[in-house]
């Protein structure tokens, strides 16, 4: 019978990543990820629940996460579930834990992304980073304008789509290949 073990998570690191070297000289970085779920209870009250998951990344991914991630950083994770079980050292029976092995990940937010204390950092209007420049984001949060010399193109206004070769399309019947 076929089976699938695939998990996709988007959340924030609950602590700074911890890296150690395995006996095989491979690196492993362990970190916690928190995901929030907002919902309306049957009584109409807005509620929020948080799910905490332990994650582990190996090799080059472990090194990159250790170098660029800190507590509060947003990550997109693709991975698989791993079930670990062991005997408790204090003689309290068997213990077990479900965790995520990272197979792919992506940083979310900007390079200078730090957890916001006042709740308004990273809004669509832009971000000020204390170096005199203003970083502009469009309504979807995509960076526009000049970010550290990247010189990203301005996004055209919504409305009528732009034609790639001008406003009129001219072709002859002989141009059609069939």
One-letter-per-residue 3-state SS of 102-139? EEEEEECCCCCCCCCCCCCCCCCCCEECCCCCEEEECC
Look at residue 101 in the predicted model and tell me its pLDDT.
95
pTM for this prediction? 0.59
Look at residue 15 in the predicted model and tell me its pLDDT.
94
How far apart are the C-alpha atoms of 75 and 100, rounded to whole Å?
A: 13
Q: Tell me the two tokens of residue 88.
A: 């408790």
**What's the pLDDT tens digit per position in 79-97?**
999 998 888 888 778 889 9
**What's the pLDDT tens digit per position in 39-79?**
999 999 999 999 999 999 999 999 999 999 999 999 999 99
């Amino acid at each position: 019978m076929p089976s699938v073990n695939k998990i996709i998570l988007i959340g924030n690191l609950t602590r700074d990543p911890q890296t150690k070297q395995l006996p095989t000289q491979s690196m492993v970085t362990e970190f916690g990820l928190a995901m929030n779920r907002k919902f309306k209870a049957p009584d109409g009250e807005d509620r929020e629940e948080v799910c905490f998951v332990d994650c582990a990344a190996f090799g080059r991914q472990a090194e990159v996460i250790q170098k660029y991630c800190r507590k509060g950083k947003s990550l997109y994770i693709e991975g698989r579930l791993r079930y670990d079980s062991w005997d408790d050292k204090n003689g309290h029976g068997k213990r077990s834990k479900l965790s995520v092995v990272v197979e792919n990940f992506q940083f979310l937010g900007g390079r200078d992304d730090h957890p916001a204390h006042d709740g308004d950092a990273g809004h669509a209007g832009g971000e000020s980073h204390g170096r005199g420049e203003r970083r502009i984001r469009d309504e979807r949060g995509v960076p526009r304008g000049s970010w550290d010399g990247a010189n990203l193109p301005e996004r055209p206004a919504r409305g009528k789509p732009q034609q790639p070769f001008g406003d009129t399309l001219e072709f002859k019947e002989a141009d059609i290949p069939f």
